[in-house]
Structure 1
Amino acid sequence: MGKGLLNVGISLPDALLDEFDEFIEKRGYSSRSEGIRNAIRSYISYYEWMGNIKGHFIGTIAIIYENTKRDISDALDVQHHYSHLIRSSVHIYFGQDDCFEVVLLDGSGEEIKKLAEAMMTLKGIKISKLTTLALKEKI
């Protein structure tokens, strides 16, 4: 990959761009581009961290998604393929269009990562966050 800068166009909802602009101003970034570069670096670092989840873990996947998106409930059935990892979940409706769900997990770090990736890429997911703790032995 070259060291030069490339121009990239992306499409964003107005509200998200406005929120991002407020963020970069508060943080003191010199430009949107610098803020976006930092966000991409952070995303890459998070993905690399996820790649190191090996062994026995407990954790949570927290997601916020639009409940008005067609088939989002069916799409979240991906959890059924990983039911052996899921110990509990909490589902909360807030606002007219959004749901918050937290899934509590216990098992193989590799499988927890696969479940998190499958959930975070579903259409309608606004925010997703995987948090894990390594366990040397089962509690």
Structure 2
Amino acid sequence: MTKQLRDDLDRFAEDHGYSGRSEVIREACQSLLDEYQETEYEGRLVLGTITAVFGYDAPEIERRMMDLRHEFEAAIRSNSHNCLADNAGCVETFVIEAEYDVVLDFIATVRGVDESVSVEYTVVPVDVMNIEAGESLEESTG
């Protein structure tokens, strides 16, 4: 763990009333584990949008993102890389369509690229999207 991360954890703990860094880490670990517990999406085809933000001019991270595009190419529907204004950072966005466990594996892999990568995501079951799209179409043509 880098000194910067330790300092950030200590500051976060103090600002939010935690007893210390270990309590913050314990809660974060529990939250992460809860994310990967079986859900109603288990075994279903889902569409995931994954956004990774990282520092500008990080060739090793960019190279690893490219490796992920190849590793998961069967499931990736879209991928873009954008640099933020004034070289403030880079944003890598993936749209992936696969079974839920594959999408979770992809998210975990992106998170594991480097500790400096910030990852956000959304997951929606494809069959729910199809039903909602069908209802909207019927309503507009009915």
Cα deviation for residue 60 of structure 1 reads 1.0
Which deviates more from structure 2 when the two are superposed, residues 61-70 or residues 33-42? 61-70
TM-score normalised to the size of structure 1? 0.70
TM-score normalised to the size of structure 2? 0.69
In the alignment, structure 2 segments of 5+ residues that lack a partner are: 131-142
Q: CA deviation digits over 1:5-24, x for unaligned, max 9?
A: xxxxxx3233x333322322
Aligned residues: 127
User: Which of 12, 15, 19 is matched with 2:8 structurally?
Assistant: 19
Match of 1:36 in 2: 25
1:49 to 1:70, Cα distance in 2 relative to 1, 3 A: farther
Cα deviation for residue 79 of structure 1 reads 1.3
Match of 2:78 in 1: 88
Identity %, equivalent residues: 22
In the alignment, structure 1 segments of 5+ residues that lack a partner are: 1-10
Q: CA deviation digits over 1:90-113, x for unaligned, max 9?
A: 322135463111211223223222
3-state secondary structure, aligned to 2:74: coil
Larger radius of gyration between Structure 1 and Structure 2: 2
User: Which of 20, 35, 38 is matched with 1:46 structurally?
Assistant: 35
Distance in 2, matches of 1:42 and 1:72, equals: 25
| More helix per residue | 2
Q: CA deviation digits over 1:30-83, x for unaligned, max 9?
A: 222222221221122223358x64211011111122343343322212212322
| More strand per residue | 1
Q: Is the 8 A contact 2:55 2:89 kept in 1?
A: yes
Alignment partner of 1:115 is 2:106: yes
Match of 2:139 in 1: none
Question: How much is the aligned-residue C-alpha RMSD, in angstroms?
Answer: 2.7
Structure 1 stretches of at least 4 aligned residues deviating more than 6 Å after TM superposition: none
3-state secondary structure, aligned to 2:121: strand
